Structure 1
Amino acid sequence: MLQSLTVSNFTLVKSLEVEFQPGFTVITGESGAGKSILLQALSMVLGTRARRDQIALGADQCEVIAEFDLSHSSVAVDFLHENQLTDTTEPLRCVVRRTANVAGRSRAWINNKLSTLDALQTLCQALLSVHGQFEHHQLLDTSVQLDWYDDFCTPKVMLEEVGRTFVQWKDTRDKYEREKRTLGLEHHGKELLEYQVDELNNLSLEPNEFEELNRDFKRQSSSQELKATLSESFDRFENQVQPAMAKVLQSLAAIQDEDTLLDETKELLTSASIHVDECVTNLQQYYEKLEIDQEQLQHIEARLNLMHDVARKHKVKTTELYKHIDTMNQKLASIQQNEARLHELDQQVKRYETEFRQTANALSNHRKQHKVDFCEAIIQTLTELSLPEVKFDIGFTDDLNSRGIDAIEYLVSTSKKYPPMPIGKIASGGELSRIALSILLVVARTSNLPSMFLDEADIGIGGTTADVVGRMLRSVAEKNQVICITHAPQVAALGDSHLFVHKDIETDGIQVKRLADQDRIDEIARMVGGKSVSDRSRSYARTLLLEATT
């Protein structure tokens, strides 16, 4: 329930605090007194766009504060708890605050904690609904028609589930399409890549194979020259080096002198002789390896030629061929992994679409089941609003979106001679206003919103019909707080609380006064008779107030 509204430096309001009561509150005042400014201020604190022209002349910023009692709003209580915004000292109290400055910047607070505008709007949607003076024109919008119908019959949790499953399906489908487009570019060359990879893999190239075969080929190709060189080396070792070393060792061995230098020399020569013998042995083994195997040489040459051909075909160096094969395999594997992921996404899209369609079908069936109840309630209300011949129906068509699979259109006939047609083609302005009001009243009876603020919902209605409207609003106010700006004295007389908006003569600012007793009689008399209040208009005002108690 809205408990209070505090406004500072907002258009013509310098400073104003208004307290609201439970039940049915009426707000009256002369045209231009500033009644709608209260609605504008309230709309701003609830999250609508702030405008610079709403800041009072000469002020740097405007401020609006609204205080709510959350005793009958579990949704709001849960929201505050989930977002750690609860007032720990008074958990069933919530204060929302909004400022806007001349620089164009606005800020919002919930229970003195800086908040985002989205959070403020989400919270306030669970606290108060605002219906503007010309909202009946929105009735021509089929999207609004669906909103109002869902307010009447559809649990919020069902709408949220349909919205959630639709977003889940849409986001996954969008991701699938993005990856499909990306993979499409890769897939375009996949067949060529598979052919190239097959060709490369068929080479069965081993790490460092090219380098090793290349060395073997060079060695075997020059084996004759190597063998000649080795033979010459053997001859020199056997006929020159080894005999000479043996002769020197024999001569030194004949010297009988225990000198350390001589002994070391003998040891070095003996060691050198051993090393020379080992060198000869190694060369002999190497020589034996140089036996030419023509068949093997041809195999090596053919293998090398194949490597060169493949490398040339793929435009890489033969020394980089093994790395190229690995890169191409990784590229193909990446495409295959993407295809697998795309397939998985495709399966997710199908699952999420099925889930959405199941919830959307359940919602559609639910809506259609309540069609008769809604139409009968509207027709009954229209009859009470002096439109007894109006026929009202709802047409369903397919329209897949986040709200389900339904589009609806209100169908109206103002004469029993004609079948119902789309409301914009049939109803006049006055009839449209009454139809909008009847729908609002029907929806309000089933609404879980604690508070509703109406700006001249009774426009164009007077006399007995205005009395009926007032009594309907008062009936709604038995479980929901209803605040109504009105020019109809019949409606004003039915209010549980009466607020009078007027301009201060000295400051030209807006003031709000709670009326009772004679002041209320005089105000209703003014509404009846215009500027001149007479004994007759006062008498009629008393009659209206007396009848309001019955």
Structure 2
Amino acid sequence: MLLSLSIKDFVIVDELALDFAAGFTVLTGETGAGKSIILDALGLALGDRSEGAQIVREGCDRADICARFAIVDRPDLAAWLADNELAGDEGEILLRRIVDKSGRSKSLINGQQATLAQLKLLGDALIDIHGQHAHQSLASGDTQRTLLDAYAGAEALAREVEGAWQAWQSARRARLEAEKNAQHTQSERERLDWQISEVAALGIHPGEWETLNQTHDRLANAAELLASAHQAIDALSETDGNCLSLLAAVQNRLGKLAHLDPRLSEVQTLLASVDAELHEATHSLRDYVGHIEEDPQQLAEMAHRLDTLMSMARKYRCQPQDLPQRLEEWQRQLGELDAAADLAALSHAENELDAAYRHIADKLSATRHKAAGKLGRRVAEEMQTLAMNGARFDIALTPLGTPGSHGLEDIEYLVATNTGTRLQALGKIASGGELSRISLALQVAISQVARVPTLIFDEVDVGIGGRVAEVVGKKLQALGQHYQVLCVTHLPQVASCGDQHWQVSKETRKNQTLSRIQVLGDNERVHEVARMLGGVEITDATRHHAAEMLALNARPV
């Protein structure tokens, strides 16, 4: 529900901060006081298109509108905010719109920059504004279908239909793509077959290139490696004055002196460690010499293998060590092409998914047809009580030439506003007041299933009065038990049914006209309803009548 609305420097509003309550709120005031400006500002916060710089109050840099909503009972919106990294305070949404004096607009959701489309998406889920100056979402085919499905209890079924349609279309696209690309696919398969055969014939395995290079380098330098190893062995243990004999002499000499100075014992320990390491190194070198040999034939074979792999890598423009990975990639691509080229399997899959879609779509159609008649009759009954005697309401379900993601039919709300006139699309109704009253009739009929928590009615009282006006007020009051309802009205019968009452007025300050809103208390409300009843001169009788109307229409607490 709408919690608050702040407006700054918008048209003739300098600054307003409004806190909203649950139930039914009426908004009244003299003509031209700025009631529609409030709704226009709210519309901007909900994602309506901006009219440019003219909405910025004269002499100001920008208009700034901010609307705050509670969404504790809308986990779907909370999930959407999280998915789009736009989450704010838990259980709330803050929608903000800024328009500068050059006409540029900026949209924010929970303080973070967002697109106008994102703002509108949230706005459509939070508020329905009914009237000739607003969303009129009930004229939208998507909204009409959604409302019918909700009324029919078929929302889950509709989601199943959409999922089945998407699966069917995906299979259909795969089959068409395979047919379209059959010749190209065959050429591609032949190319991959050739490449796979050529590289697979090498028998290369992962890591072979690195191992080959290492072995080749060792064989190519075998003579130098052997010579260096023998020189090291000689220096360590074989020649006169070798390291091991010199070390032994040092150890012997110090050992004889150790009893004279105990500190030499530490040196002896270190020398013993060095002696052990040198003997180990000498042993390792002799073992190394025993295993290394010059093998010109193996060297030649290694060089040939390296050249073969290098040549193949150059051919396919990759590094030799990447050939095994390239082979695996080609094999994967060939498998995908084989699957994609199996037209019989693709057609079979498409037909199965088509049948599954039509089965579930037929169930949805039957459910919709049953609910459409019931809802149409209920709305028509409501319209009779709203000064639309003889009006008819029907829901047309027209079969689609090509099944769609939302089912097998188009859904359109049709209305005839007078006896003898033909039914026509709800969106083509010319009168804003008629459209608003039809919207009211629809909202009353579906009040137990609609998800949008806040309803705003503008010009709902155009062309009515007397008993019908009282009926409208009572219906709005009843809607207020299920929704948060705000109504702009000129009728005292409607205004007296409100749970809350706001008055819009104009004042002149420093040669500027400014719009003001006042929340009315009991006495102030009596005066306002009396004004609406009696015009310029308000008598005691008028006040008494106003107080009586308010008392009679007050909803029990």
Calculate the TM-score normalised by the size of structure 1. Answer: 0.64
Q: For the residues of structure 1 that align with 2:113 and 2:428, how far apart are their CA atoms?
A: 48
In the other structure, the counterpart of 1:510 is 515
In the other structure, the counterpart of 1:260 is none
In the other structure, the counterpart of 1:117 is 116
Q: For the residues of structure 2 that align with 1:43 and 1:348, how far apart are their CA atoms?
A: 47
Amino acid at match of 1:396: L
Is 1:544 aligned with 2:549? yes
Cα deviation, residue 374, structure 1: 0.7
Q: For the residues of structure 2 that align with 1:180 and 1:103, how far apart are their CA atoms?
A: 54
In the other structure, the counterpart of 1:490 is 493
Q: For the residues of structure 2 that align with 1:441 and 1:175, how far apart are their CA atoms?
A: 47
In the other structure, the counterpart of 1:130 is 129
Change (3 A) 1:473 1:445: farther
In the other structure, the counterpart of 1:397 is 398
Amino acid at match of 1:110: I
Decide which of 525, 530, 539 is 2:530's aligned counterpart.
525
Deviations 1:195-235 (A, max 9, x none): xxxxx9xxxxxx9xxxxxxxxxxxxxxxxxxxxxxxxxxxx
Change (3 A) 1:83 1:525: same
Deviations 1:249-271 (A, max 9, x none): xxxxxxxxxxxxxxxxxxxxxxx
In the other structure, the counterpart of 1:226 is none
Contact 2:387-2:464 at 8 Å conserved across structures: no
In the other structure, the counterpart of 2:95 is 96
- Range with greater deviation from structure 2 (125-134 or 9-18): 125-134
Q: For the residues of structure 2 that align with 1:487 and 1:351, how far apart are their CA atoms?
A: 60
Cα deviation, residue 81, structure 1: 4.2
Cα deviation, residue 528, structure 1: 2.1
Deviations 1:275-318 (A, max 9, x none): xxxxxxxxxxxxxxxxxxxxxxxxxxxxxxxxxxxxxxxxxxxx
Q: For the residues of structure 2 that align with 1:139 and 1:65, how far apart are their CA atoms?
A: 25
Q: For the residues of structure 2 that align with 1:99 and 1:346, how far apart are their CA atoms?
A: 53
Cα deviation, residue 354, structure 1: 4.4
Change (3 A) 1:452 1:151: farther
Stretches of structure 1 that go unaligned for 5 or more consecutive residues are 195-199, 201-206, 208-322, 324-332
Change (3 A) 1:139 1:509: same
Secondary structure of the 1:499 match is strand
Change (3 A) 1:435 1:62: closer
Change (3 A) 1:345 1:61: farther
In the other structure, the counterpart of 1:212 is none
Contact 1:397-1:406 at 8 Å conserved across structures: yes
Cα deviation, residue 425, structure 1: 13
Amino acid at match of 1:45: A
- Range with greater deviation from structure 2 (538-547 or 150-159): 150-159
In the other structure, the counterpart of 1:269 is none
Q: For the residues of structure 2 that align with 1:426 and 1:334, how far apart are their CA atoms?
A: 55
In the other structure, the counterpart of 2:49 is 49
Secondary structure of the 2:26 match is strand
Calculate the TM-score normalised by the size of structure 2. Answer: 0.63
Task: Give percent identity, aligned residues only.
Answer: 31
Secondary structure of the 2:382 match is helix
Q: For the residues of structure 2 that align with 1:24 and 1:468, how far apart are their CA atoms?
A: 14
Q: For the residues of structure 2 that align with 1:112 and 1:138, how far apart are their CA atoms?
A: 27
In the other structure, the counterpart of 2:438 is 435
In the other structure, the counterpart of 2:26 is 26
Cα deviation, residue 381, structure 1: 1.1
Change (3 A) 1:391 1:68: closer
- Range with greater deviation from structure 2 (367-376 or 118-127): 118-127
In the other structure, the counterpart of 1:246 is none
Deviations 1:401-430 (A, max 9, x none): 3332212344556788x7974467998957
Secondary structure of the 1:508 match is strand
**Aligned residue pair count:** 421
In the other structure, the counterpart of 1:277 is none
Cα deviation, residue 74, structure 1: 3.3
Change (3 A) 1:64 1:398: same
Contact 1:73-1:449 at 8 Å conserved across structures: no
Is 1:452 aligned with 2:452? no
Counterpart mapping for 1:381-392 below 5 A: 381-387=382-388, 389-392=390-393
Cα deviation, residue 379, structure 1: 2.8
Alpha-carbon RMSD across the aligned residues, in angstroms, is: 4.3
Change (3 A) 1:168 1:41: farther
Secondary structure of the 2:554 match is coil
Cα deviation, residue 179, structure 1: 6.6
Change (3 A) 1:3 1:433: closer
Name which one, 1 or 2, has greater alpha-carbon Rg: 1
In the other structure, the counterpart of 1:304 is none
Q: For the residues of structure 1 that align with 2:80 and 2:383, how far apart are their CA atoms?
A: 37
Q: For the residues of structure 1 that align with 2:17 and 2:32, how far apart are their CA atoms?
A: 19
Counterpart mapping for 1:213-224 below 5 A: none
Q: For the residues of structure 2 that align with 1:8 and 1:69, how far apart are their CA atoms?
A: 22
- Range with greater deviation from structure 2 (533-542 or 131-140): 131-140
Q: For the residues of structure 2 that align with 1:386 and 1:175, how far apart are their CA atoms?
A: 56
Change (3 A) 1:465 1:547: same
Q: For the residues of structure 2 that align with 1:61 and 1:175, how far apart are their CA atoms?
A: 52
In the other structure, the counterpart of 1:224 is none
Stretches of structure 2 that go unaligned for 5 or more consecutive residues are 195-200, 202-314, 316-331
Contact 1:5-1:67 at 8 Å conserved across structures: yes
Cα deviation, residue 433, structure 1: 5.5
Change (3 A) 1:431 1:534: same
Q: For the residues of structure 2 that align with 1:505 and 1:471, how far apart are their CA atoms?
A: 36
Deviations 1:55-109 (A, max 9, x none): 2233332211111222333333333344454445xx2233222222244443333
Secondary structure of the 2:446 match is helix
Counterpart mapping for 1:68-217 below 5 A: 68-87=69-88, 91-133=90-132, 145-150=144-149, 152-154=151-153, 156-167=155-166, 169-170=168-169, 173=172, 177=176, 181=180, 183=181, 186=184
Secondary structure of the 1:56 match is coil
Cα deviation, residue 537, structure 1: 3.0
Contact 2:383-2:391 at 8 Å conserved across structures: yes
Cα deviation, residue 512, structure 1: 0.9
Q: For the residues of structure 2 that align with 1:22 and 1:62, how far apart are their CA atoms?
A: 27
Q: For the residues of structure 2 that align with 1:349 and 1:58, how far apart are their CA atoms?
A: 64
Cα deviation, residue 445, structure 1: 4.1
Cα deviation, residue 140, structure 1: 7.1
Cα deviation, residue 155, structure 1: 5.1
Amino acid at match of 1:519: E
Contact 2:128-2:136 at 8 Å conserved across structures: no
Q: For the residues of structure 2 that align with 1:129 and 1:530, how far apart are their CA atoms?
A: 32
Cα deviation, residue 147, structure 1: 5.0
In the other structure, the counterpart of 1:290 is none
In the other structure, the counterpart of 1:477 is 480
Q: For the residues of structure 2 that align with 1:51 and 1:431, how far apart are their CA atoms?
A: 26
Contact 1:414-1:426 at 8 Å conserved across structures: no
Change (3 A) 1:341 1:431: same
In the other structure, the counterpart of 1:267 is none
Contact 1:136-1:433 at 8 Å conserved across structures: no
Contact 1:27-1:499 at 8 Å conserved across structures: yes
Amino acid at match of 1:549: A
In the other structure, the counterpart of 1:461 is 464
